[in-house]
Amino acid sequence: MEKVLGLTVTDEGVDDCMVDTNSSIRSRLCAIVGEDSVRDSANERHAYSYDATPIVTGAPDWIVFPQTTRQVSEVLRLANEERIPVIPRGSGTNLAGGTVAVAAGIVLNMTRFNRIVEIDESNLTVTVGPGVITADLHRAVEARGLFYPPDPGSMRISTIGGNVAQGAGGMRGLKYGVTKDYVLGLEYVLPTGEILRCGGKNYKDVAGYDLTRLLVGSEGTLAVITELTLKLLPLPESKRTMVVYCKRMVDAARIVERTIAAKIIPATMEFLDQSTMRVVDQFAHLGLPTDVAAMLLIEQDGVEQQVDRDIDRIAQIARKVGATDVQVANTPEDGARLMAARRSALAALSRLRPTTILEDATVPRSELATMVSEIERIAEKYQVQICTFGHAGDGNLHPTCMTDERDAEELERVDAAFAEIFEVALRLGGTITGEHGVGMAKAKFLPKRVGEDGIQLMMRLKQAFDPNGILNPGKIFVRVPDWQHVAE
Amino acid sequence: MEKVLGLTVTDEGVDDCMVDTNSSIRSRLCAIVGEDSVRDSANERHAYSYDATPIVTGAPDWIVFPQTTRQVSEVLRLANEERIPVIPRGSGTNLAGGTVAVAAGIVLNMTRFNRIVEIDESNLTVTVGPGVITADLHRAVEARGLFYPPDPGSMRISTIGGNVAQGAGGMRGLKYGVTKDYVLGLEYVLPTGEILRCGGKNYKDVAGYDLTRLLVGSEGTLAVITELTLKLLPLPESKRTMVVYCKRMVDAARIVERTIAAKIIPATMEFLDQSTMRVVDQFAHLGLPTDVAAMLLIEQDGVEQQVDRDIDRIAQIARKVGATDVQVANTPEDGARLMAARRSALAALSRLRPTTILEDATVPRSELATMVSEIERIAEKYQVQICTFGHAGDGNLHPTCMTDERDAEELERVDAAFAEIFEVALRLGGTITGEHGVGMAKAKFLPKRVGEDGIQLMMRLKQAFDPNGILNPGKIFVRVPDWQHVAE
C-alpha cells in the first residue's frame, strides 16, 4: 500500500475516504466555472497529484478548468478568502515539481485558454491564451512566414503559459535568446483577484516597473497568466544541420569556443556525452560511433548563402581542432535524422531504470568542458549513473541520473551527487537552473545561489503579490513564512 | 531674484543661509567616503539641482562621490537610519527629472565607478562599473571586435548605470533590442544597505525571481547599482546607410512596414518630420529638401553581401511606394553625413527657444503615421510648436516642443497638448514612455497606463525594497505614500 499525499492507494484502487468533501467550496466553484469544469473524483485527484518530476507527488482537492479571465479572478478571490492553495497548471511537463500540490487545494488547469487570439504581421506579435501548445503556436506563425524561436524540449506537449511561467529555454538560446526575451505583454490575475495588464505590443516600454519580466519565470507563485503577447521574428529562409564527433569533450568545447570567436553564432549547438550516445544508439539505432567522447549537433539558419558559408567554416574549425568526423546534412530529412540523436536523448535514458532525474545545472560557456568532467568525477565518487547532454552554446547542461526511487540508499547518494554538482556549478560562476525552474526540487539550493538577503527580498516581493500565500505554496522558497496560511 | 528649491539666487550669487548645515550628517558622510568626496557649497548644490529635464529643479543638501560598493552601502545605511533621501546620479542626462532632488537629501554621484572590469571574449560579456560612459564602453568592446548595441542619444555623455536604471533605448531597438535585453547580472545595494548580486554571465538563469530585469528601468527607486555584467555580440562586419525622402508621412510608414514584411530587419530606421527637417537644415546646412513631408534614415549592418542586398531591396521598396528621392551612401563618411541630420535634430531644435521639451510617446509601429498626424493636429489645436522625429522601426516617437518656461500661459497649453498626446498614444495601444522613463515628468500619466491596481502593486514592490522610502522619492509615483518619510 502506497501513500500519495492525501490519498491511500491500495490494490483495490484509490480509497477516497480521506478526500476533503467540503461541499460548500465545491458548489461555489461549480457556480463560477460550471459543474462540468470542477473535478474531484479520487482518480482525477490521483492523476493530478504529479507532473513530469520524479518522486514528488501531492494530490489536490479539486481540479478546476476555467474558461475566462473573469472566472480565474473569481476562483482566486474565493481561494484567497478561504485560504485555499491554488496551483496553476498547463500540461504538467514541469521538471522541478512546479505543478505538484504540496498542501492540497485547487489545481487551476489553464488548458481551456487555448486560443490564438491574433497574429499581427505588421507589428510582429502574436497574442495567445496560456493554454496554447507551443508547437501549435510554432505551426501557426510559421504558416505566415513568422518565427517564435523558443523551443523547449517539451514543446509538443507543454503550453506557452507554462513555458512563460517557468522561463523555459530550448536549443536556440545562444542565437535567439529564451522565452523571457519574447514576452512583450501579459494579462494576469493577482491571488487577490485583481485583473491587470502589463506591457503590450510596444518593443520599447519603460512605464513603471517591469512587471512583465518579473512575472516571466515566477513559476506560478505571483499571479495567474491569462493572456500573452509575444514577439516574433521573420522566419529564416533556410537551415542546415551538421554533426561533429570528438575524441575528447575538451575538443567539443574548443570547437564551440572557436566558432563564436570567429563571429559565427549558430542557431543551435547541442552536445551529447559518450554515455548518452551509447544509450541513445541502443534505443534509436542511429549508427552512432560509440568510441568518441562527445558529439556536437550544430544548426545554422538564415539566408542560404550565409548558412552555407557558416556551416563550411564550422566544419573547417572542427577539423582543425581534430574532430574524428564531420557530417553535414544535405537535405532537411538528413538534418532531422542527425538531430534525432539529441531529441531522443531523454526518451532513451528514461528506459534504463524506473526513475530518471533530469537536471539543469548551468555554467558560463567557457566552463563547459570543466563542468562535464566534474560531473563524471562526481558520478564516479557517489557510484551513480549520470549521463550528460545539453546546450553547448549557452552552457546549460542536463546531467541526467538513472536510478530507482524505491532504493532509499541509492537515492541518498543521488541527492548527494546533485548537491555537489550544483556546488561546482556555482563555484564556476553558474546557476542551479538554466530553464527548468526552482520549483520544489531546487528550493534548498536557492539560498546558495542568491544569498540569504536575496531570499528575503524575493519573499517580500512574493508577499506584495500574494499577502495570504495561497498561490503555489512550497515552490521556490524552502521556508513557508509565518504569513503564508495554507489549508490543512 | 529667483528661487530654486532650497536656495535663494540673487544677483550677487547664491545665498546659502538657507542651506541645511547638519554638521553631524556631514561629518559621518566624510568619515565614509573621505572629506574631498562630500560637496555642499552653495554653487555645487545649485549645479546639482537640475538634470537635462527642462523646468524641474531641486537642490540636494550634499553631493557624495562614493568609490566602492562598501561606501555606497554605508551611505545608504546612514541615510536609511536618518530618513534622508538619496538620489543616485550618473551624468545627469535624464529627461524626465529622474535625477532631480525633490526633497533635498544626498545626490549619490556614481561617476567614480568608471572602470571596465573585464571583457570576457569567451563568454561574450563585459563587466563594468555604473559610471562608465556608454560611448567609452562601445569603443572598448569594438576594439576587440565585439558589439554592445544599445546606443541612446545621450551615449557620449551618459553612463551605463544611468542607461540601465532608465532602461534606455536608442536607434537599434528593432533589430537589436534595448538596454534591458543586454543586462545579464548586477551587483546592487538596497536602501537598507545590503549588498546583493543577481544574475551573472549565464545566458540562461531562472533561479528565483528575475531581479535583474526588475531593476533595469527601476529609475533609481529600488536599489543603487554598483556593478553590471552585460551581454555582447560579435561586431557586424559592415554597415551601410541610406536616406529616403517622402511626400507624405504615410508613405514613410508604408516603406517601414513593407521592409519588415519583406523580412528585412534593418539596424536602424529613423525618421524626421518636415518641421524638424527645416530646423535641422537651418542649423546644419545639410542641403535637405524642405518640401517633403518626411525623411527616413535607414542603416543595415552584417555580412557585406547581405547588407548590400538588403539596402538594394529597401531602395526598391521605397521607390515603389513613391519616395521622391533615395540616396545610398557609398562610404562610411557619406553615411555619417546622412545620419548627421538625425543626430543633430535635438541640438537644432534646442536653439529655437529657451525651453525644449523632448518627449517620448510610443505606439506600436503600425500606428506610426496615425500618431504623427495626431501630434500635428494637437499642436495646431493648442497653438504650440511641436516637431517630431524618432525611431520609425519601433514606434518610439520624440514629439519635441519648443517653448519658454517663463510664459506660464503658453506652458499651460503645452501641458495640455502633451496630455492629449499621451492619451492618443495610449488609445492606439502605445505607452507613455519608450525609453526616457517616468521620473517626475510622467508620473501623473502612469496610472492611466498601468491602472490603479497596477500602481498599488508597484508601490508594494517599492516598499519591499525600500521600507522607509528614501531612494529617489517623488519619481514614478505621484503620491508619496504614508510610509514614505522624507527629510523636511
- Domain membership flag for residue B432: no
Residues of A in contact with B437 (CB under 8 A): 206
- A317 by DSSP, 3-state: which? helix
Residue among B201, B206, B359 with most chain A CBs within 10 A, to mutate: B206
pLDDT tens digit sequence for A164-192: 999 998 899 889 999 999 999 999 999 99
- Going by pLDDT thresholds of 50, 70 and 90, the confidence category of residue A23 is confident
Other C-beta atoms within 10 Å of A266: how many?
27
The whole-number pLDDT of residue A21 equals: 52
The whole-number pLDDT of residue B3 equals: 44
pLDDT tens digit sequence for B242-287: 999 999 988 999 999 899 988 899 999 999 999 899 998 888 888 8
A244 membership: H or E segment, kind and range: strand A238-246
Is 80 exceeded by the pLDDT of residue A3?
A: no
The whole-number pLDDT of residue A482 equals: 52
Is the CB of B377 inside 8 Å of chain A's CB atoms?
Answer: no
Specify whether A247 is located in the same domain as A258: yes
Buried b / exposed e along B400-435 (16+ C-beta atoms within 10 A): bbbbeeeeeebbebbeebbebbbbbbbebbbbbbbb
Specify whether A100 is located in the same domain as A75: yes
- Domain membership flag for residue A272: yes
**What's the gap in Å between the CA of B209 and the closest CA on chain A?**
6
- Domain membership flag for residue A275: yes
The whole-number pLDDT of residue B303 equals: 86
Domain termination site, one of B342, B360, B387: B342
Is 80 exceeded by the pLDDT of residue A347?
A: yes
pLDDT tens digit sequence for B143-186: 999 999 999 989 999 999 999 999 998 899 889 999 999 999 99
The pLDDT of A362-384, averaged and rounded, is 94
- Domain membership flag for residue A441: no
**What's the gap in Å between the CA of A111 and the closest CA on chain B?**
24
Specify whether A262 is located in the same domain as A326: yes
- Domain membership flag for residue A110: yes
Domain termination site, one of B342, B367, B400: B342
Is 50 exceeded by the pLDDT of residue A335?
A: yes
- Going by pLDDT thresholds of 50, 70 and 90, the confidence category of residue A126 is very high
- Going by pLDDT thresholds of 50, 70 and 90, the confidence category of residue A483 is very low
Residues of B in contact with A366 (CB under 8 A): 120, 122-123
Residues of B in contact with A312 (CB under 8 A): none
Domain termination site, one of B320, B342, B364: B342
Is the CB of B291 inside 8 Å of chain A's CB atoms?
Answer: no
The pLDDT of A121-134, averaged and rounded, is 96
The whole-number pLDDT of residue B285 equals: 84
- Going by pLDDT thresholds of 50, 70 and 90, the confidence category of residue B481 is low
- Going by pLDDT thresholds of 50, 70 and 90, the confidence category of residue B336 is confident
pLDDT tens digit sequence for B205-234: 999 999 999 999 999 999 999 999 999 999
> Does residue B2 or residue A384 have the better pLDDT?
A384
C-alpha cell at A82: 478561504
Among A123, A166, A429, the residue with its CB nearest the CB of B366 is A123
pLDDT tens digit sequence for B11-21: 554 444 434 45
Specify whether B206 is located in the same domain as B335: no
Are the Cβ atoms of B438 and A208 closer than 8 angstroms?
yes
Specify whether A167 is located in the same domain as A313: no
Residues 6+ apart with CB under 8 A from B50: B56, B57, B58, B92, B100
Is 80 exceeded by the pLDDT of residue B407?
A: yes
Is 60 exceeded by the pLDDT of residue B22?
A: yes
Domain that includes residue B315, residue range:
238-342
Specify whether A207 is located in the same domain as A313: no
With beta carbons less than 8 A apart as the criterion, state whether A474 and A439 touch: no
Give the separation between CA B399 and CA B386, rounded to whole angstroms. Answer: 6
**What's the gap in Å between the CA of B484 and the closest CA on chain A?**
16
Q: State chain A's mean pLDDT as an integer.
A: 91
- Domain membership flag for residue B434: no
pLDDT tens digit sequence for B385-401: 999 999 999 999 999 99
Which of B242-256, B326-340, B350-364 bottoms out in mean pLDDT, i.e. has the lowest? B326-340
Is 90 exceeded by the pLDDT of residue B341?
A: no
The whole-number pLDDT of residue A15 equals: 45
CATH number at residue A376: 3.30.70.2740
Are the Cβ atoms of B213 and A209 closer than 8 angstroms?
no
Residues of A in contact with B181 (CB under 8 A): 177, 181
Is the CB of A423 inside 8 Å of chain B's CB atoms?
Answer: no
Specify whether A170 is located in the same domain as A46: yes
pLDDT tens digit sequence for B50-87: 999 999 999 999 999 999 999 999 999 999 999 999 99
**Of chain B residues 211-270, which have a CB less than 8 A from chain A?**
211, 213-214, 216-218, 222, 233-235, 237, 257, 260-261, 263, 265
The whole-number pLDDT of residue B485 equals: 43
Q: State chain B's mean pLDDT as an integer.
A: 91
Specify whether A177 is located in the same domain as A285: no
Secondary structure of B89-111 in the HEC alphabet?
ECCCCCCCCCCCCECECEEEECC
Residues of A in contact with B213 (CB under 8 A): 180, 210, 213-214
What total number of domains does chain B contain?
Answer: 3
**What's the gap in Å between the CA of A35 and the closest CA on chain B?**
31
- Residues A176, A179, A180, A186, CA torsion sign: positive
- % of chain B at pLDDT higher than 90: 81
Are the Cβ atoms of A464 and B464 closer than 8 angstroms?
yes
Other C-beta atoms within 10 Å of A449: how many?
23
CATH number at residue B191: 3.30.465.10
Residue with cell 511561467: A165
pLDDT tens digit sequence for A222-249: 999 999 999 999 999 999 999 999 999 8
A59 membership: H or E segment, kind and range: none
